[in-house]
Amino acid sequence: MPLAELFDRHHVELFRYAARFTGDADLAEDVVQDAFVRLAERPPADGSNLRGWLYRVTTTIAIDAMRGARRRAVLVRAEAARTPLADPAPDPGTALEREELRRRVREALQQLGERERAILLMREEGFTHREIAEAVGTTTKSVGTMIARALEKLARRLDLDAEDAR
């Protein structure tokens, strides 16, 4: 399949994944484009699981990009300015709430290790434990354990059990 078609098919989900992983939408955009350049430079020998390969490469590039960004100290960006043009302007209270929630989720995810974060976010994208294990280079069994552990950490930070406690 031509690369442009692959880009059309996968760039939205890869952007979503990269934005969640890095917590930075601008960086995520660059990361996704770099992943497709990497695909042109060094395509996978076995093209049977191209989607998994793209996520793996996106994760690697995202990790490098985040380290580079941290070194250059430009990671702090005004996320609040990124409001979709088509949406009606939210009232200041709602916008503030949403931004606060976005900050909390981003910070909670960034507290996880890179591998834990990748596993959790790939699960969110619908990958099976086996596919995740292949992508991050671990066993299927440890994927389950790492997901449970990561969710345990996030449950405390994001009150994921709040309704259960009531």
CB of 71 to another protein, least distance (A): 23
Give me the residues that bind another protein (CB under 8 A), please.
3-4, 7-8, 11-12, 15-16, 19-20, 25, 28-29, 32-33, 36-37, 40-42, 79, 82-84, 87, 98, 101-102, 105-106, 120, 123-124, 145, 147-149, 151-152, 154-155, 158, 160-161, 164
Cβ distance to another protein smaller for residue 82 or 130: 82
Least Cβ distance, residue 155 to another protein (angstroms): 5
What's the closest the beta carbon of residue 32 comes to another protein, in angstroms? 7
Residue nearer to another protein on the CB measure, 43 or 71 = 43
Own/partner contacts of 21-26, CB < 8 Å, gap of 24 or more, are 21/58, 21/59, 21/62, 21/109, 21/117, 21/118, 21/121, 22/62, 22/65, 22/66, 23/106, 23/107, 23/109, 23/110, 24/66, 24/69, 24/75, 24/77, 24/79, 25/79, 25/82, 26/77
For the bound state, the minimum distance from the C-beta of residue 42 to another protein, rounded and expressed in Å, comes to 8
Query: What angle in degrees, to the nearest 10, is found between the helix axes of 25-41 and 3-22?
Result: 140
